Amino acid sequence: MRRIEAVLFASATPVARDDLARIVGQGASVDLLIEDLAADLEGRPYEVAQVGAGWMLRTRSAYAPAIRAAADVGAQALNLTEFDLAVLAAIAFHQPISRDGLKEIFGKEISRDLIGRLADRDLIGTGPREPRRGAPYTFVTMDTFLAVFGMESLRDLPDPEQLADAGLAGPSEALDI
Amino acid sequence: MKKLHEQPSQAMPGPPPLPGWIARAAAEPLDAAAFRSGAALAHLALVAAADVPLPLWRDRLALAAAETCAAMAGRREGQGALRDALHLTRAGDDPGPAGRVLRQWSRAVARPVSVAGLGRVLEGIAPEQIGLCLDAAGPTPVDRAAAVIEAVLADVPRAETAALILADAVLARGWGQDHAVPLLSLAIKPRDLRLRGDDLRLACHRAVAAGAAQAVSLATELSRAAARLRVVTPKLRAGGAGRAVDLFLSREALTPGALDFMSDRAARRLCDRLVNLGAVRELTGRETFRLYGL
């Protein structure tokens, strides 16, 4: 259990079950050890969180204001512009989607630089090719995307129809899947 | 699932369809439902023992099951889009959320059921849990499958795909198959998965009877298609045609590129020739990035 804690502590990204299984040795159950670790961390300001198919250690969200006020987390921040985030959201809702698909949503060309910024941060990766001339890449979100935005799976994304109903999203084409 | 009845059945005898009395039998209460699903499974087992291309049949059923499971995960991709996601993803790329569901299903039905094999397919489910599922207890195979669904979802509430793959694997072992065969997953409704105990068992019996009916009609369709393919096989002179035919009898869709033992050009020509001979269908309706299958 301490080994798992050490590995999760040292890793900035979620660690997959297989990687954990290698360090706990034969016959030991990763899940039971994770459960033990979670129980052990009860009352601590950080927790084990399942993200996609792996786990990571992260501070509990209740401490977010304290961390933001006191620590310099600027270096860890995503450093993305509002438009970058809008494109990321469009990819999350419409994946797999190509740059041409994004262009249709935003009404303008999405630069390779922007896609590169999202890919460099492991937020998106390349998905299936589109079945047309040139076989363009599509983009899909990666587990890091879930981790950064505190989601366990893509089903935690807000429902586009509900957003529209609540008036949070206009009847814009951006959310019209 | 689409039924193809362009050939009169007496011209090409295939496995017999599900007898009407089974389809019409009462689906309630629990003991009637169990009788009906048992009768459907008994008939299905006879069909599967006849001349059906089993790997192909399971792969096509896996596509239908993946569509149901993807819908449960909030994905709207139909079978065509799922196929594209799987076949147009190159090595090292990610098939995306819906493509991953199909990849899990087609891997799960490709090999005999085992803890290690399913462990590699089902992300986020511990091998211990898979072992417990495969040893699930219950009076009938369908009840065991229901117990598996309940156990997996109690542990990981959103793992519907994993729960249904495991349930159909346990069910398949119960009616004498060593591979998982998607049945339950073809007809179960998302709201059924929120049921527990006897309600869930009843829903599973109903889904198995409906899924078995679909699986029987697909088996009939595919065994006729396989017979047509075998008839034209001697006419194929391309080197590697025999291996290509074997692949078509085990995978529900193929890109010409999947025939990697032939040159690209030869593979395309063989696929076109098989379409012209009426032995294989082009599945996408596209001019490029075509997919072929029986």
- On chain A, the residues whose CB falls within 8 A of the CB of B124 are 17, 50, 52-53
Q: What is the DSSP letter of B16?
A: P
Q: CA-to-CA distance for A148 and A157, rounded, in angstroms?
A: 13
Distance CA A111, CA B27 (A): 57
**What HEC string does chain A produce?**
CHHHHHHHHHCCCCEEHHHHHHHHCCCCCHHHHHHHHHHHCCCCCEEEEEECCEEEEEECHHHHHHHHHHCCCHHHCCCCCHHHHHHHHHHHHHCCECHHHHHHHHCCCCCHHHHHHHHHCCCEEEEEECCCCCCCEEEEECHHHHHHCCCCCHHHCCCHHHHHHCCCCCCCHHHCC
R_g of chain A, CA atoms, integer Å: 19
Reported as a pLDDT band with limits 50, 70 and 90, residue A176 is very low
Distance CA B81, CA B102 (A): 10
Q: Quick one: closest CA in B to A177, which residue?
A: B76
Q: How far is A59 from chain B (nearest CA, A)?
A: 22
**Are B128 and A31 within 8 A, CB to CB?**
yes
- Per-residue pLDDT of B181-225, as tens digits, reads 999 999 999 999 999 999 999 999 999 999 999 999 999 999 999
Full-model pTM:
0.85
- What pLDDT, on a 0 to 100 scale, did the predictor assign at position B15? 81
DSSP state of B112: B
Whole-number percent of chain B with pLDDT over 70: 96
Q: Which residues of B touch A91 (CB under 8 A)?
A: none
Cα–Cα distance for residue pair B61/B77, rounded to 1 Å: 16
User: What is the predicted pLDDT for the residue at A60?
Assistant: 87
B95 at A interface, C-beta within 8 A: yes
Residues 1-30 of A with CB under 8 A from B: 17, 29-30
Report CB contact under 8 Å: B123, A53.
yes
In the DSSP assignment, the letter for residue B179 is B
| A contact test, residue of B93, B152, B292 with most A CBs within 10 A | B93
Q: What Cα–Cα distance (Å) separates residue A118 from each residue in A56, A105, A123?
A: 21, 18, 5
pLDDT tens per residue, range B85-137: 999 999 999 999 999 999 999 999 999 999 999 999 997 788 889 999 999 99
pLDDT in tens, A1-57: 888 999 999 988 889 888 888 888 777 888 889 999 999 998 888 999 888 778 989
Q: At what angle do helices B141-155 and B197-232 cross, to 10 degrees?
A: 110
Residue matched to tokens 């992260």? A58
Reported confidence tier of residue A67, pLDDT bands at 50, 70, 90: confident
Q: CB-based contact (8 Å) between A162 and chain B?
A: no
Between CA B35 and CA B21 the distance in angstroms is: 12
> E-assigned strands of chain B?
281-282, 292-293
CB nearest to A127's CB, from B74, B94, B288: B94
Looking at this protein, which amino acid is placed at residue A139? Answer: F
